């Protein structure tokens, strides 16, 4: 039955775009619809599963591949893997989509300027001053998806609107 099918919701975008906020908002909705949800937040995964990795392209790719592998385990067992990770490089995101089934790429689109406004830790300001190296969107590239299943524009829509758009997409695919 399609409604018992596991899948991966992969939210990608700049730091501060809203990936974690949207993931936290949609998780209880998916659970209320009978889904078993596991949230794989990029910051948390890096602390536990990918400790010791740097922010080089090679290490970032390793981190994303590890998240993809864990997300696939969740999905293969009928759960929803809710991934909130910057995932800056298109080639590795595309590799994840080719390697695993039912990966739904969600582009959480917000400009560097918008993300910098939201940045309570001041990381963008430090990166723009050159105090933080390899900061995605400032001194390191972010490659937006070319054809995401859902694109959210968090500067112009509310969290509820973004979540509603994801839910509508999942319903249209028969996943909810």
Catalytic residues: 87
Rounded distance between C-alpha atoms, residue 117 and residue 10, angstroms: 24
User: Which of 14, 24, 162 has its CA nearest to residue 85?
Assistant: 14
Q: At what angle do helices 57-76 and 90-99 cross, to 10 degrees?
A: 30
Start-to-end CA distance of the chain, whole Å, equals 11
Rg (CA), the chain: 16
CA distance 25 to 39: 11
- Nearest 5°: phi and psi at 10? -110, 105
Dist CA 82 CA 41 (whole Å):
8
Residue with tokens 């994840």: 96
How many whole angstroms separate alpha carbon 111 and alpha carbon 46? 24
């Amino acid at each position: 039955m399609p409604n018992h099918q596991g899948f991966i919701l992969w939210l990608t975008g700049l730091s501060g775009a809203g990936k974690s906020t949207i993931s936290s908002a949609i998780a209880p909705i998916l659970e209320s619809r009978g889904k078993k949800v596991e949230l794989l937040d990029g910051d948390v995964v890096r602390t536990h599963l990918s400790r010791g990795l740097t922010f080089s392209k090679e290490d970032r790719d390793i981190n994303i591949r590890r998240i993809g592998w864990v997300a696939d385990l969740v999905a293969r067992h009928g759960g929803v893997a809710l991934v909130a990770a910057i995932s800056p490089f298109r080639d590795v995101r595309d590799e994840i989509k080719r390697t695993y089934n039912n990966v739904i790429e969600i582009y959480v689109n917000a400009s560097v300027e918008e993300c910098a406004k939201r940045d309570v830790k001041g990381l963008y300001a430090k990166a723009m001053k050159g105090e933080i190296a390899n900061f995605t969107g400032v001194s390191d590239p972010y490659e937006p998806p070319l054809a995401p299943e859902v694109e959210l524009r968090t500067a112009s829509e509310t969290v509820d609107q973004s979540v509603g758009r994801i839910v509508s997409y999942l319903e249209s695919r028969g996943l909810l």
